[in-house]
């Protein structure tokens, strides 16, 4: 791990295994931090933030982000192989959101914004309580940020926290998910060996124990938690952060809906939409795991979805042709199978898949799975399964589609397809989620805010809104010479 600028083992000397989810083989080990190691990292970050010029030296920060960009590029292929091995993500995903996009030009946006950001804003002279004052709104970093990340897109999520937090002048402690620690420890090493980031400004603390992450939440020396993970853990973090009134940025789960309106070209949209639900084993927060189709074309839609599902290439994540690899762990695999069982029990019709593939005895695979005759209140239509499982739900008209799309506790993403952009936009306006794709439009980018309504989170990553998560606002005023 990286604590206070030093690459170190856990003080206890303990390590834990990193396991390949596609083969169930141990890849190797990583330092296993305990609460004391975490407290040392917090101390280092606090000290570095309070006693270095990092928060005010934009030139240094920009240089460091550019150095990190180059350092990552120099080990990109090792990182690619490592991600496929520890995440089980199909190799093809690493050429997109899993690796190449977040480590490419995306990073430069965060380096450049340091120069262009409106750090100060002058307000007109103000008169209050009989005195005239100049007034200035200034932006300052929040301070020490605890970044807690999941395993599904570890580099992408990690960089989506590190880049804005460091660009805006914060110190950071990164706590990776226990299932995918190596990409984070590699980043730690790259920062230590290849950048001028002052000791203690960036720390990496992996642990097999979730409770070690909670140290960040309860320790008053940490000003903010930037968390991405499940809604259940987000709730727990909110509770534990309450006594310290800690600032929270939470990116949580989703149960997004793809609404296909009756004027859409079903044959070109639905098979792809169904296959898309299996992308990376369905372990994608913004995945459209509900397909909403008009009732009078329901059977046609189910047949097309089945066609798409049966064609999903899944298996060895090293094979460039795959879009689905294994689930991350046997626990996650069993959780997904439990949801499938529940769907059958509640009366949904299993059309495709539903079990463990016989031809993959090793690795934590689940078959691409399609459910029809799903009602909006069923468990499989309400809860985030995080597996390759699609539910097809009928609606009566556009208003009913909006009502069903909104009928879960989540509000992360979604999609609308229609021959009429105008009609699609009207439906999209009714859906209470942070992002919606219309007719296949792509929302993702460093300048595009992403995040959730309702139980999908609080706050946004990326864009100016995302930078704002890592900033405090200070209002300055003084007597005006013009009285």
Residues of the shown chain interacting with ligand NAD in the complex, contacts defined by CB under 6 A: 148-153, 157, 175, 177-178, 210, 213-214, 217, 228-230, 233, 236-237, 251-254, 285, 384, 386, 412, 452, 457
- Rounded Cα gap, residues 14 and 31, in angstroms: 6
Q: Specify the residue, 294 or 466, whose C-beta has the smaller distance to ligand NAD.
A: 466
H-state helical runs in 242-370: 266-276, 298-310, 330-345
- Rounded Cα gap, residues 221 and 223, in angstroms: 6
Q: For the CB of residue 70, give the shortest distance to ligand NAD in the complex, in Å.
A: 27
Q: For the CB of residue 225, give the shortest distance to ligand NAD in the complex, in Å.
A: 8
Q: Specify the residue, 233 or 324, whose C-beta has the smaller distance to ligand NAD.
A: 233
Q: Specify the residue, 199 or 238, whose C-beta has the smaller distance to ligand NAD.
A: 238
Q: Specify the residue, 32 or 398, whose C-beta has the smaller distance to ligand NAD.
A: 32
- Rounded Cα gap, residues 143 and 145, in angstroms: 6
Q: Which residue has the tokens 């008053």?
A: 220
Q: Which residue has the tokens 């979604």?
A: 414
How many other C-beta atoms lie within 10 A of the C-beta of residue 223? 21
Q: For the CB of residue 9, give the shortest distance to ligand NAD in the complex, in Å.
A: 20
How many other C-beta atoms lie within 10 A of the C-beta of residue 116? 7
Question: Of 82, 214, 215, 251, which one is the catalytic site residue?
Answer: 251
Burial label for 154, CB within 10 Å (0-12, 13-18, 19+), is buried
How many other C-beta atoms lie within 10 A of the C-beta of residue 447? 11
Q: Specify the residue, 238 or 426, whose C-beta has the smaller distance to ligand NAD.
A: 238
Question: Of 156, 214, 285, 384, which one is the catalytic site residue?
Answer: 285
Q: For the CB of residue 132, give the shortest distance to ligand NAD in the complex, in Å.
A: 46
Q: For the CB of residue 63, give the shortest distance to ligand NAD in the complex, in Å.
A: 29
Distance of alpha carbon 76 from the chain centroid? 20
Paired residues of 29 in beta bridges = 17
Q: For the CB of residue 219, give the shortest distance to ligand NAD in the complex, in Å.
A: 12
Q: Is 21 helix (H, G, I), strand (E, B) or coil?
A: coil
Give the distance between the most distant pair of CA atoms in the chain. 83
- Rounded Cα gap, residues 335 and 233, in angstroms: 16
Question: Active-site residue 29, yes or no?
Answer: no
Q: Specify the residue, 155 or 372, whose C-beta has the smaller distance to ligand NAD.
A: 155
- Rounded Cα gap, residues 320 and 96, in angstroms: 13
- Rounded Cα gap, residues 48 and 34, in angstroms: 21
Q: For the CB of residue 248, give the shortest distance to ligand NAD in the complex, in Å.
A: 11
Q: How far apart are the first and last CA of the chain?
A: 58
Question: Active-site residue 64, yes or no?
Answer: no
Q: For the CB of residue 148, give the shortest distance to ligand NAD in the complex, in Å.
A: 5
Q: Specify the residue, 149 or 172, whose C-beta has the smaller distance to ligand NAD.
A: 149
Paired residues of 438 in beta bridges = 416
- Cα dist from 167 to 61, 64, 110, 195, whole Å: 6, 9, 6, 14
Burial label for 130, CB within 10 Å (0-12, 13-18, 19+), is exposed
Backbone angles phi, psi at 134, to 5 degrees: -80, 150
Q: For the CB of residue 410, give the shortest distance to ligand NAD in the complex, in Å.
A: 9
Where are any strands of DSSP class E within 207-359?
224-228, 247-251, 256-260, 288-294, 349-352
Q: Specify the residue, 18 or 228, whose C-beta has the smaller distance to ligand NAD.
A: 228
Q: Are strands 414-417 and 256-260 parallel, antiparallel or unpaired?
A: parallel
Backbone angles phi, psi at 235, to 5 degrees: -65, -45
Q: Specify the residue, 134 or 453, whose C-beta has the smaller distance to ligand NAD.
A: 453
Question: What residues are annotated to the active site?
Answer: 251, 285
């Amino acid at each position: 791990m990286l604590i206070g600028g030093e690459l170190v083992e856990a003080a206890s000397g303990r390590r834990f295994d990193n396991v390949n989810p596609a083969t169930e083989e141990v890849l190797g080990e990583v330092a296993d931090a305990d609460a004391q190691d975490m407290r040392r990292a917090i101390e280092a970050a606090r000290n570095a933030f309070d006693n270095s010029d990092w928060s005010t030296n934009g030139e240094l920060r920009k240089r460091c982000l550019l150095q990190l960009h180059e350092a990552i590029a120099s080990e990109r292929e090792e990182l690619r192989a490592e991600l496929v091995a520890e995440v089980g993500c199909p190799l093809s995903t690493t050429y997109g959101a899993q690796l190449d996009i977040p480590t490419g030009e995306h990073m430069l946006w965060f380096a450049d914004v340091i120069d262009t950001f409106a750090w100060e804003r002058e307000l007109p002279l103000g008169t209050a309580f009989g005195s005239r004052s100049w007034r200035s709104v200034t932006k300052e970093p929040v301070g020490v940020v605890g970044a807690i990340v999941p395993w599904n897109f570890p580099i992408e999520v990690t960089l989506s926290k590190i880049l804005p937090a460091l660009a805006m002048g914060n110190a950071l402690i990164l706590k990776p998910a226990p299932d995918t620690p190596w990409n984070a420890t590699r980043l730690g090493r790259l920062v230590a060996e290849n950048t001028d980031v002052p000791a203690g400004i960036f720390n990496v603390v992996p642990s097999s124990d979730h409770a070690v992450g909670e140290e960040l939440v309860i320790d008053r020396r940490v000003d903010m938690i930037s968390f991405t993970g499940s809604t259940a853990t987000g709730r727990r973090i909110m509770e534990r952060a309450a006594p310290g009134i800690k600032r929270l940025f939470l990116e949580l789960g989703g149960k997004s809906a793809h609404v296909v309106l009756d004027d859409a070209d079903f044959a070109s949209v639905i098979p792809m939409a169904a296959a898309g639900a299996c992308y990376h084993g369905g372990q994608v927060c913004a995945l459209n795991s509900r397909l909403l189709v008009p009732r009078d074309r329901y059977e046609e839609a189910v047949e097309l979805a089945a066609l798409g599902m049966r064609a999903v290439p899944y298996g060895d994540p090293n094979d460039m042709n795959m879009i689905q690899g294994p689930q991350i762990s046997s626990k996650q695999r069993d959780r997904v199978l439990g949801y499938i069982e529940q769907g059958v029990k509640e009366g949904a019709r299993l059309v495709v898949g539903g079990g463990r593939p016989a031809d993959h005895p090793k690795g934590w695979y689940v078959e691409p799975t399609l459910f029809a005759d799903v009602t909006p209140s069923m468990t499989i239509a309400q809860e985030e399964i995080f597996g390759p499982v699609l539910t097809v739900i009928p609606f009566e008209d556009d208003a009913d589609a909006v009502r069903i799309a909104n009928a879960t506790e989540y509000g992360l993403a979604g999609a609308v397809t229609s021959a009429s952009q105008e009609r699609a936009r009207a439906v999209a306006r009714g859906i209470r989620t942070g992002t919606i794709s219309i007719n296949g439009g792509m929302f993702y980018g460093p300048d595009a805010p992403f995040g959730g309504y309702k139980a999908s989170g609080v706050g946004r990553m990326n864009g100016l809104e995302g930078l704002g998560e890592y900033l405090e606002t200070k209002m300055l005023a003084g007597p005006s010479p013009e009285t």
